[in-house]
Amino acid sequence: MGHLDGRTALVTGSVQGIGLSVAKALAAAGARIAVHGLATAKQADEAIAAVSSAGAPEARFFDADMRDVAAIDAMMDNLEEWGPVDVLVNNAGIQKTASLAEATPDTWDAIIAVNLSAAFHTMRRALPGMAERGFGRVVNIASVHGLVASKDKAPYVASKFGLVGMSKVAALEYAASGSRASGGVTVNCICPGWTETVLIEPQIDARAAQFGGDRDKGIASLLSEKQPSLRTSDPAEIGELAAWLCHRTAHNITGTAIPIDGGWTAQ
């Protein structure tokens, strides 16, 4: 039996990349999966098929726009009818690199809305029910940029620092909910460094251009600047950590921000 048998998990931004890998890992642990994203019908069907193949006893697709509070509330209402949310993974995120002077108000508003405010709105809806049932897991996919800064990423860094801080507040507010036997309610962040997803492709392309379009050299350049291991992470590795944090025996691991960054933040 999987440690999430009988549980329902919502993973935002789970039609690809880290989100899909997290959803598959939770599915393998036995959870019913609420797949979420802004996707075509084909992309949604493929994501549902992937989590079902990974072991989800049931999967359903939700397409709420995470910039829209009313849409988030409607999604959470629908989820409560489908099955109370036991595991919430806030993964949906966007990024655009630009200097502080060049970043537009629209860029700021969009990144803060999706990366930070959306997580607040899902958490405020899900956490009270988790506390009532004595078990709940919130895993927020932050970033190494929730722990350290980089140039040309002011909105993104602000959103991720905010996500880490908000998660610590929620962890404190719900720390005494439930028990060791029930599993309690925990709130944690995972902070990936360079990970093989479409989110970093624009940065890879920009670096590759410096080497005549050589993508491998572009990746090597990014890694050498920040990530001492000189290795990217596979999204599946983030998924495995998320699933482990959802185990009942992780009841006393809360309020953390765990880097998967090849030593980036150890420097």
Q: Which residues are catalytic?
A: 156
Residue ranges of the chain with pLDDT lower than 50?
none
231 near 223, Cβ under 8 Å? yes
How far CA 217 is from CA of 74, 221, 234, 261, in Å, comes to 45, 6, 19, 19
Using the Cα atoms of residue 219, residue 225, residue 228 and residue 233 in order, give the sign of their dihedral. negative
Q: 8-193+235-258 adopts what CATH topology?
A: Rossmann fold (3.40.50)
Cross-strand bridge partners of residue 87? 9, 137
144, 191 Cβ separation under 8 angstroms: yes
Q: What is the pTM of this model?
A: 0.94
| Predicted local confidence at residue 134, as pLDDT | 98
Instruction: Judge contact between 211 and 245, C-beta under 8 A.
Output: no
Q: 230: number of CA atoms within 13 Å, CB side?
A: 5
pLDDT digits (tens, 9 = 90+) for 190-214: 999 999 888 788 888 989 999 999 9
- Please give the C-alpha separations between residue 234 and each of 129, 174, 249, 264, in angstroms, as whole numbers: 33, 31, 25, 16
Look up residue 200 and give its amino acid: I
- Sequence-ordered strand ranges (E) for 37-120: 59-62, 87-90
Amino acid 74: pLDDT? 98
3 state SS of 116: helix
- Where are the domains positioned within the chain? 8-193+235-258, 198-232
What token pair was written down for 128?
């009270």
How far, in Å, CA of 73 to CA of 95, rounded? 24
